[in-house]
Structure 1
Amino acid sequence: MAEPNYMLNIVGVFGFPVAENPTGVMQNAAFQVLGLNWLYLNFEVEAEHLGNAVLGMRAMNNFRGVNLTIPHKVAVLQYLDEIAPSAQVIGAVNTVRREGDRLIGENTDGKGFMRALGDDADIDAAGTHAVVLGAGGAARAIAVELALAGARHITIVNRSRERGETLVRLLAEKTPAQAAFVPWQGTYRVPEGTDLLINATSIGLFPNVEDAPDIDYDSITPGMIVCDVIPNPPNTPFLRRAAERGAITLDGLGMLVYQGAIAFKMWTGQEPSVEVMRRALAAEFGG
């Protein structure tokens, strides 16, 4: 008879606020299906207490890892023992995994997008021309991962010139990809020859579910890969309009699930069921 083990392995998210973060829904569903004695919890950590929270994590051997959300993705860097190469380029960490007594920072934001691109659309980013709408954290992570995967050219379209040009400089200095900034003034027309169009803004996120990026949708061509980072609702007006014009679409729910699946394996060493994770999140979102 096996010895009883009443110790849970803990993972979770540090952020402020975190009450509406649904990540635990999909992670706990995946733990349950595999019969793992693990639990994902939301931890409300204000900015001035992040260092103490990381120290607390270090002190508990069964605290196996953590996600970081606003406002901690950059501030956490100083408390870690190692930063993965792509996270170094991005300049932000959203996942911490534990190796013995060492805490290693990763960024799965862009990795989830890349896995959706490969697994769901069977697309290799190498040699592609991509247009990214936005220049915030999600845009930064996706653009870096695209560049590291061999994208030939990346256009950053953003209303803030400073933020857009900063991202383009980062890509030029840290990756082999060519990059250009285009100010988002009025309705943006997607240039001919674009392979990938990505909405990396929050336009269309619940509760503003009828909003869509201000682009010329007739400039979307059949066969173009059009992606939206918005997980709720998954089928955004942006994606619906693109599909009407013959585009292949990828939704943000899939990207969020793949981010979670990558973190799950980093923490547990096991592959989760992405189908179970997606169903759990879709049910939570009412889909």
Structure 2
Amino acid sequence: MKRPYAEVIGSPIAQSKSPVIHGFWLGKTGIAADYRGTLVEASGLADYLSSRRVDPDWRGCNVTMPHKLSALPLLDRLDPLAAKIGAVNTIVPDGGALVGYNTDAPGFLEPLAGMLRETHFFRMARILGTGGAARAIVAALAGEGFTLVLAGRNPDKARAMLDELDPGGKHHAVDIAHFADPTDFAFDDREGCCDLVVNASPLGMRGQSPLAFDWSHAPPGSIAYDIVTDPVDTQFLQGARSTGLATIDGLEMLVGQAAVAFQHFFGVEPPRAFDAELRERLLA
């Protein structure tokens, strides 16, 4: 007998931790369904979606590189947040239609929720990277009142992204190389302020170039947040800790965005009481 299933698609796909996360939650909830990783090349994306559209057992898919933007024209409609961000990471069937969502934004914000409930005089985030994940992070933080410094290899691309996603914001676009060398900039009093430094790029990921960031660019009391998950403890986070800063690793966002997707796929909230056990499994 066939079972309902969801999956994660991308190229490459073997490194994805999503099957572990969703499989763990399916086991805890006792839902009789599967979740798997499926290799889908860019040239095969349209055919993949056409075949899944008519599969009654398919509950949807998570979308990873390189499909977060290229899937958009192949969908029937977008959730308002996904439309604003201009990227999808979750696709769900709905009465024969394919609907695109972006769970990266709420997933990114989840570990910051306690801090964001506080009142701050000023909020600023330095965001490194201008890809699909960065789009979600820019939109999420702009919505929480942050002034953004978006850094990329192409500052014009960073400027265009800021103008598109938050045209009324007083944000800044810079070359990512700006942060590689030390600075003697004297930061003002950060009491009552909230500062983030976010690696939203693949730099520092296993097999990728390292991320060159000198921590003299981070205001005192900053929180360092790296969305890379392989390795989990990146050189970026190690550097932040060496200067006494708090850190958030990529598993936090990964689990947070997966939780929203799980509810889309299977209609129930995942059992978050087991997050510590899940994290141990992901680190094994």
TM-score (norm 2): 0.85
1:26 aligns with one of 11, 18, 21: 21
Aligned alpha-carbon RMSD (Å): 2.5
Do 1:253 and 1:278's aligned partners in 2 also have CA atoms closer than 8 Å? no
Displacement of 1:222 in angstroms is 4.1
Do 2:127 and 2:200's aligned partners in 1 also have CA atoms closer than 8 Å? yes
CA distance in 2, matches of 1:150, 1:268: 33
Q: Deviations over 1:10-55 (max 9, x none)?
A: 1002222323322101111110110001111222222232222112
CA distance in 1, matches of 2:12, 2:134: 22
Q: Can you give the 5+ residue segments of structure 1 that lack an aligned partner in the other structure?
A: 1-5
Query: Which segment drifts farther, 270-279 or 81-90?
Result: 270-279
Do 2:42 and 2:66's aligned partners in 1 also have CA atoms closer than 8 Å? yes
Displacement of 1:202 in angstroms is 1.9
1:54-73 mapped onto 2 (5 Å cutoff): 54-73=49-68
Please tell me whether residue 133 in structure 1 is matched to residue 125 in structure 2.
Answer: no
1:14 aligns with one of 9, 21, 27: 9
**2:116 maps to what in 1?**
123
Change (3 A) 1:39 1:158: same
CA distance in 2, matches of 1:77, 1:282: 35
Displacement of 1:282 in angstroms is 4.5
Please tell me whether residue 234 in structure 1 is matched to residue 226 in structure 2.
Answer: no
2:145 aligns with one of 147, 150, 153: 150
Which SS does the other structure have where 1:203 is aligned? coil
**1:205 maps to what in 2?**
205
CA distance in 2, matches of 1:170, 1:82: 20
Change (3 A) 1:269 1:177: farther
1:88-237 mapped onto 2 (5 Å cutoff): 88-118=83-113, 122-124=115-117, 128-151=123-146, 153-173=147-167, 176-185=168-177, 186-187=180-181, 189=183, 192=187, 195-206=195-206, 213-237=211-235
Do 1:13 and 1:68's aligned partners in 2 also have CA atoms closer than 8 Å? yes
Displacement of 1:237 in angstroms is 2.4
Change (3 A) 1:188 1:172: farther
Q: Deviations over 1:119-157 (max 9, x none)?
A: xx5334985211101212221210111112332x11112
Which SS does the other structure have where 2:16 is aligned? coil
Do 1:95 and 1:106's aligned partners in 2 also have CA atoms closer than 8 Å? yes
> Identity rate of aligned residues, in percent?
31
**1:3 maps to what in 2?**
none
Please tell me whether residue 41 in structure 1 is matched to residue 36 in structure 2.
Answer: yes
